[in-house]
Structures are given as C-alpha cells and as structure tokens.
Chain A
Amino acid sequence: MDKSKWIEVYRTMKLIRLVEQRINDEYKYDEIKTPIHLSIGQEAVAAGVCIHLRKDDYIFGTHRSHSQYIAKGGDIKKMIAELYLRKTGCARGRGGSMHLVDPDVGILGSSAIVGGNIPLGTGTALASKLLGNDRVTVVFFGDGAADEGTFHESLNFAALKKLPVVYVCENNFYAINSHQLSRQVGDNIHKWAQGYGMPGYQVDGNDVLEVSDYAEKAISRCRRGEGPTLIECLTYRWKGHIGTVDDVGEGYRPKEEYDYWVSRCPIKRFAEFLKSRGVLTAELEKSIDREIYELIEDAFRFAQSSPKPSPDELLDFVYAE
C-alpha cells in the first residue's frame, strides 16, 4: 500500500473501533432494537481491503457488516439511524444492523443468511463482465460461510467465467460457538481456491499492511480481467458472537486464546508501526480521535432524534415500482 494511504487506513480502523464501542455502550438502553454483531478486533480486514476500492466498486457483507460498511464509505448517520430503526436509516428502518445498504458507494446490501451474499457478489461481478466495465466486487464472509454450498458453487462459477470478484473470508475461527475445526478439516479455506482454479491466500488478518497488499494485488488482477481471488484473513472477534456479551472463559473460548489475540490488536500494531515511522504523532492521533468523536456524536444525535416509520408505511417497498 502506498504510504500516502496509511493515515486514511488508520483512521478507518479507528472509526470502526470507536463506532462499534459506542454501539456497545448504547446497547444497554434498549433503543437499538435489533441484533448486533460487533467487529471489534477484526477492523484490519475491511479497512485493508476497502482502501483499494473505488466508490463505484461493489461490496457485499454479512450479519457482521458494520466494519465493511464503514470502510467502504457508507454514510455513518444513516447507519446509526438504521440501528435505531428510524425512517432516516439507510434501509428506512426495514433492515437493521444486519442489513446495511448504501448504493451510492456500491454497498448493495448485506445478508444475514450465512453464505447468502456470496452468489450475489458473484452476480454483480458477472454484470461487470457482461457490461464490459472494470468495477470490482468484494464479498466478505466468515469461516462459517465456507461450510455452505453457496461458497463452493460461487467460487466455481467465478473462476469459470473469470469474474472480477475478490472473496474475503474473515476467519475468526468461530461460527457462533462452534470452532472451525469442529466443522472443517484443517486450515482449509484458502486451499479450496486452488481446486476451483483461482489463487487463494491465507494472511494475517490483524496486520492491515499484509491484508492490504494481498487485496491490492487481487483487486488489480480483477481490473485487468484476470479473474477472482480468495483471501482468507485470520483474525479474531473480541466480543461474543451477538450483542454486547463477553463470552470468554465461560466454556466457549479459552482466556489464553483471547488474550493472545487482544495482544495482537490490529489498531495498536498499526499505530505503533506508524509511530515508529514518524507518520503518526501524538498530536495527529488526538486530532483524528477528536474528529471521529464528533462524527459519532453527530450520528447518534441524528439517529436518536429521527422519526420512526409509521404503521401506515408497513406495506411500502414490498415491490419495486
């Protein structure tokens, strides 16, 4: 990644972290009446990938999509308003946390069906090919989604048609409480790619520079019309699967495992790197935090003061005009 983008990537990761923490803090007031899946700990993946995307490129996310929405440049006010299920939300209160959308920046919607977004992103990539444009699609999904048929069917098709799509697996080792090794043989996800006829890589998903390097290559490969790539990013979620619970040491995830991954915090690591290079000063760090804080304040104020949909709108949008 070009040096000039370092601070932007850092800011994106920080923005994701702070938005997620604020959601975490507000959740207890029960005004965000929708299931949430926080990405704290996984910020480097979305940030490292999306930095290389253009506004008109597409992404498709999952139930855990706050990070991707933010990294792709989705409108934060509309995102928070959606979490509050307000009329001003990005999906007008019909979607909630798991269904974020912002077509203006290529976010065509996220799916809460595990693996469900993989064909859709393969389809937008097909459209790019049929229309002869160079728009790239990135599909984000978890290790759990690699269990699904849609993952395998879509990779096969994308390779067959050389579609401009990058499959980014955020492997946080768990699908709810089920460990990857109780669902799949070995560390397999990136290896499947080869069988389907595309490059597949396993990268340190907590190292934003490494994620970004692989993503950059994969995305330019797409732009050159050379076809899809699978990037498996090893990472870890800090919070429990859903909501704001901490599930560590309660029979689900071992404390040592959690501590290990927290010690490898992607933001801390990158900040240290940037400081060692003299790019991030204490002053700059503070001013970024301040700017983000304002933005988040604004977004929550906007959301909390926005109207809810009215009951007479219930049947709107079942069909498009």
Chain B
Amino acid sequence: MPWTTVQVEKLGNFFITGDHTGDRVLTYRDALHEALDQFLARDPRVFIMGEGVDDVAGVFGTTKGLKEKYGANRVFDTPIAENSMTGIAAGAAMAGLRPVLIHARMDFLLLSLDQLVNHASKWCYMFGGKVPVPMVVRTISARGWGSGAQHSQCIQGMLMNVPGLKIVAPATPYDAKGLMISAIIDNNPVLFVEHRWLHKTTGYVPEEVYSIPIGKGMIHRKGEDITIVAVSYMLVEALKAAEKLREEGISAEVIDPRTLKPFDEKLLLESVGKTGRLLVADTGCKTGSVASEIAAIAAEKAFHVLRKPVRRVCCPDTPTPTSDVLEKAFYPTADDIFAEAVKLVKE
C-alpha cells in the first residue's frame, strides 16, 4: 500500500454538504474516476497517460480499471520522464487530441516545467491563437506519514505566475467531477490540483455529466464577521474552523475559489465588502503562495473596506519535515484558522 494511503485511511470521513444535494454520495476519488470514465466513453479524443496510470492501484483508485475498459491506447503507462511526457501530451493536444496527463506527486511536476511553462502554456499566445493546447495535467499533493520534503509539496503558488495556464483546485467531490469535465472540455492547458487528503472526502455527486465554470468560486458557508478563503484541502480545515467559530459567536463566511487562475475576484470582493476581514488559508508555503496573491488582490481592490490587516494561514517557509513531531508543527489546521480568525474579529 502506498504509504500516504496508510495516512489517508486513518483520516475521518469528512462529509461535504452545501454544494449539492441529492441521494447519491461519492468520494472525491470516485467522482474523479467517474468523470474520466464518462469522458473516455463520450469523447474518442480523450486519453490518459502517466506513470502507473494502468497499474492495479490506478493512481489512488482514480484510474482503476480504465485501461481494461478502454484499452491500452487510451490509458497507458509512461517512462519516468516527466518533462518530455508533458511535451508529448502537449504535442498530441496540438494535433487534436485531449490528453489527461497525471503526475502522482506534485513534486514531480517540477521536472516538467519547461514543457508546461515554456511550451504548453505559451503556445496559444506565441502563435497568435493559431495552435491551442487543450490538455489536462493532474497533479496530486500528498501529506503526512513522513512524506518528507520531496513528496508533499503544494507548489500551486509558483504556477500562478504562468500566463496561459489555468489552475483549478477542487475541494469537494461535486467540484472534482464538474471541474474535471470542464478541464477536459477547455481548449487550454489546465493544471488540475488535487490533494491526497481530499480523495476520501465524500459528498453528493449526480451521475449525469455536468461542468462547473472555470473561474467561478463558491460560498460554502455564509457569514457576516469574517471571510475565510480556503484553497484545496484547506477548505476542510476551514469548514471545521467555521463551526468552532460559530460556537464562539463568530459568523465566518467560507469561500472556496475552486479555480485559482483565472481567479474569481468578484466573489472575493463582495464577501470582503460585507465582512471587512479576510483570512486566506493555503496548502503551500507562505511566501509567493496563492494566499499571497489573494491578499494582494484584496490590498489592491478592497483596501477601503478592510477593517483589519489580511492574514494568511499557510505552511511556514521550510521544506516539509519528515519527523512526525515536526510535521505536526508544520501543517496549519482548523485550530490555526480558528485562532487567527478570533484574533481578527475580537482584537
């Protein structure tokens, strides 16, 4: 069993409510699987490639059985050559296909930045719109159980600085399916940021095909006193924190941007206009994080309505430690969000 699975299996089963209703409950992992399955069936241009995508584990279950169902031309393993595999996927996209490329760890994505940043993301602009590159790059961040400095990074902040790249980071099963479908349909390279700890999260997911607009966030919980913007897995921690804050008499509005780029500024500014306080929680290290960018948007466009300085709750600027003790100190949790929020509202 992959060691992160050991960790994930220990987690409680977080149930997401509020983004959708119905009677069909799926895990995030199965929601992704369903989106991929449905699009492999619907669109012959779609194919999946990546290290180990066709093995028995099937990328934490998200691609399990798809090779058997669709054949080795549609779902196939690749050499351990992240950069060229990314370029190969981009080339296939230029020739009219819709690849879904998977990096089982976000750390490995770093090896592909030449093809992702210099090529795939620039191609449309550099050639005056003549050659679009419709591809999805799935990348999964791990956490815990000694993953260490090279198997746990959340570098979405770095990639915010790449023109031409769209970045989505769904936190719920409903969004995972809907955004995967949007990412496949989109005519641009879309980085699909997943967090291993979300794979087990459950929520309502309809069986039919649906898409969620890229560039639109959503309010997960309405509130009056403080806006908490939570990126990716931090949504789970933020929702827990919001519940605790309610007990303290603090009404927190929790926003999931869902898409990191292009960012839903309107939703952010409306919420901050109402609450006057902003806390941003991100899974990555603090400096140059998505939280930094969101804070900058608020400073630039909502300065006049802010009643308190913006706060970022992120990992500290250190490589991820492997020691379980240090790991615990490294990752921010609902308690940190709670404590910071209380300070913002009460001090």
Interface residues of A (CB under 8 A from B): 58, 60, 89-95, 99, 101, 103, 108-109, 111, 113, 116, 118-131, 135, 149-150, 153-154, 156-157, 160, 316-321
Contacts and interface: CB of A to CB of B under 8 A. Distances in A.
B178 interface: no
A216 B40 CA distance: 36
Contact of A319 (B78, B87, B92, B166): B166
B128 A108 contact: no
Given A119-B85, A120-B94, A131-B97, 6 more contacts: A58-B95, A109-B126, A113-B118, A123-B88, A317-B125, A319-B188
B91 A119 contact: yes
Interface in B104-125: 114-115, 118-119, 123-125
B184 to A, nearest CB: 14
A317 B124 contact: yes
B318 interface: no
Nearest to B91: A123
Given A116-B87, A119-B87, A99 B81 contact: no
Contacts of A91: 126-128, 130
Contacts of B322: none
Interface string B66-91: 00000001100011010111111111
Nearest to A309: B128
10 contacts: A92-B128, A94-B126, A95-B128, A113-B118, A123-B94, A124-B94, A126-B88, A129-B73, A157-B78, A319-B187
A231 B123 CA distance: 27
B61 interface: no
- By Cβ-Cβ distance, the 4 closest A-B pairs, closest first, are A123-B91, A119-B87, A92-B128, A153-B84
B81 A153 contact: yes
Interface string B190-207: 000000000000000000
B132 interface: yes
A45 B163 CA distance: 35
Contacts of A120: 87-88, 90-91, 94, 115, 119
A216 to B, nearest CB: 23
Interface of B: 47, 73-74, 78-79, 81, 83-97, 114-115, 118-119, 123-134, 163-164, 166, 187-188
Most buried by A among B47, B92, B124, B130: B130
Given A116-B115, A116-B119, A319-B166, A99 B126 contact: yes
A318 B84 contact: no
B188 A130 contact: no
A127 B187 contact: no
Contacts of A156: 79, 81
A126 B128 contact: no
A101 B94 CA distance: 12
B134 A320 contact: yes
Contact of A109 (B74, B81, B131): B131
B131 A119 contact: no
A92 B118 contact: no
Contacts of B89: 123
A50 B216 CA distance: 47
Nearest to A133: B95
Given A123-B94, A156-B79, A130 B47 contact: yes
Nearest to A87: B128
Contact of A127 (B79, B95, B124, B166): B95
A130 B92 contact: yes
A126 B91 contact: yes
A101 B126 CA distance: 9
Given A116-B115, A123-B88, A157 B129 contact: no
Nearest to B164: A318
B88 A154 contact: yes
A160 B166 contact: no
Nearest to A160: B79
Contacts of B83: 119, 149-150, 153
A94 B127 contact: yes
Nearest to B88: A123
A118 B81 CA distance: 13
A319 B164 contact: yes
Contact of A318 (B78, B86, B95, B124): B124
